Amino acid sequence: NVGIRRRMARFFRRDGRALIFAMDHGFEHGPTDFEEHWEHVNPRIILRKVIRAGVDGVMMLPGLARIAGDELRPNVGLMIKLTSKTELRPKDDQLLQSQLGFVEDAVKLGADAIAATVYWGSPAEDVMMRQFAEIASYAHDLGFPVVQFAYPRGPYINERYGKKEDYRVVMYGARAAVESGADMIKTYWTGSRETFAKVVEAAAGVPVLLSGGAKTEKPVDFLKLVWEVIEAGGAGAVVGRNIFQRENPEPFIKALIKVVHRNEDPEEAAKA
């Protein structure tokens, strides 16, 4: 499908890698995520900074794209995520993301890709699979690539594997994403290059992007992690807190770009 291929290419440079800024946290975690650098709660302010610094794409929910999408330059890919949940929900309902927008909404907002989360292994896996299938089927029909946030989580995983970041669990989620029709996968760090390489192999050619995770105290530690992802064959990273919770995101993004696109040593990249 030419449409899917052309739109995918808006995120990835010629090296097949991408650095994407994530900003759905005001919904998924609540505005407290922005309290470290409160001005970043304003999507226009943080978007201006990340775009100036050179990210390849941004990911957000439909409402933020509606109010701040005109900050995006044409060469920045827009990923619109159609599922989410708040942290205000009862604990037992935290393992389900609900659909909060439709493929048509994302298309009207100028999306280049449609994203949705699946919590593989959740008691609500069935609902999320169907939700993903519907979104993917419609998006594919219209020529739009679909990104799956393949996030295994649930009681059985903890019982059997100890933690959701066990590579066997992450690899399973990535493979399930491929087999359910994802064009790109976003998933957790497994703790080592060797194990992440297995996740990439299980994804059988579908690009695997790291899900950033909580801010590391030292910026260089996050650069090192991303470097391992790239060495493992990962296609880049989708990063939120590690960017917007830093006082000065621009030099940090420039360092990330050096690691993602130029294989630069993280310590060297951090110095510049």
Catalytic residue numbers read 186
Per-residue x/- marks for ligand FBP, 208-247, CB under 6 A? ---xxx------------------------xxxxx-----
Shortest distance, position 40 Cβ to ligand FBP, whole Å:
12
- Cross-strand bridge partners of residue 77: 57
Taking CB atoms within 8 Å and a gap of at least 24, the contacts of 132-138 are 132/180, 132/181, 133/180, 133/181, 135/82, 135/83, 135/99, 135/103, 136/180, 136/181, 136/182, 137/181, 138/103
Shortest distance (Å) from residue 238 CB to ligand FBP: 6
In the bound state with ligand FBP, the residue whose beta carbon lies nearer, of 40 and 241, is 241
CA distances 183 to 81, 164, 228, Å, are 14, 22, 22
Q: Give the residue with the Cβ less far from ligand FBP, 22 or 257.
A: 22
Select from 115, 186, 104 the least CA-distant residue to 145.
Answer: 115
Task: Kindly indicate which of the ranges 65-73, 99-107, 207-215, 221-229 contains the residues binding ligand FBP, using the contact rule CB under 6 A.
Answer: 207-215
Query: Among residues 143 and 169, whose Cβ is nearest to ligand FBP?
Result: 169
Check residue 28 for interaction with ligand FBP (CB under 6 A). Answer: yes
| Nearer of residues 14 and 218 to ligand FBP, judged by Cβ | 218
Instruction: List CB contacts of 47: < 8 A, sequence separation 6 or more.
Output: 21, 23, 58, 68, 71, 72
Rounded distance, CA 183 to CA 148, Å?
A: 8
| Best CA proximity match to 213, nearest among 249, 189, 194 | 189
Q: Which is nearer to ligand FBP, 83 or 175 (CB)?
A: 83
Half-sphere exposure in the Cβ direction for 260 (13 Å, CA): 28
Residue nearest to ligand FBP (CB): 212
Residues 6+ apart with CB under 8 A from 37: 244, 245, 246, 247
Nearest approach, Cβ of 224 to ligand FBP (angstroms)? 16
25, 40, 246, 258: which one contacts ligand FBP (CB under 6 A)? 25
Pick 84 or 180: Cβ nearer ligand FBP? 84
In the numeric block, which tokens belong to residue 53? 């610094």
119/205 Cα distance (integer angstroms): 22
Least gap, CB of 83 to ligand FBP (angstroms): 11
Contact status, residue 260 vs residue 232, Cβ threshold 8 Å: no
User: Between 167-179 and 193-202, two packed helices, what is the crossing angle to 10 degrees?
Assistant: 20
With CB under 6 A as the contact rule, the residue among 7, 24, 47, 199 that binds ligand FBP is 24
The 129-168 site mask, x for binding ligand FBP (CB under 6 A), equals --------------------x-------------------
Candidates 6-14, 128-136, 205-213, 221-229: pick the segment binding ligand FBP (CB under 6 A): 205-213
Which residues here bind ligand FBP, judged by CB under 6 A? 22, 24-25, 28-29, 149, 211-213, 238-242
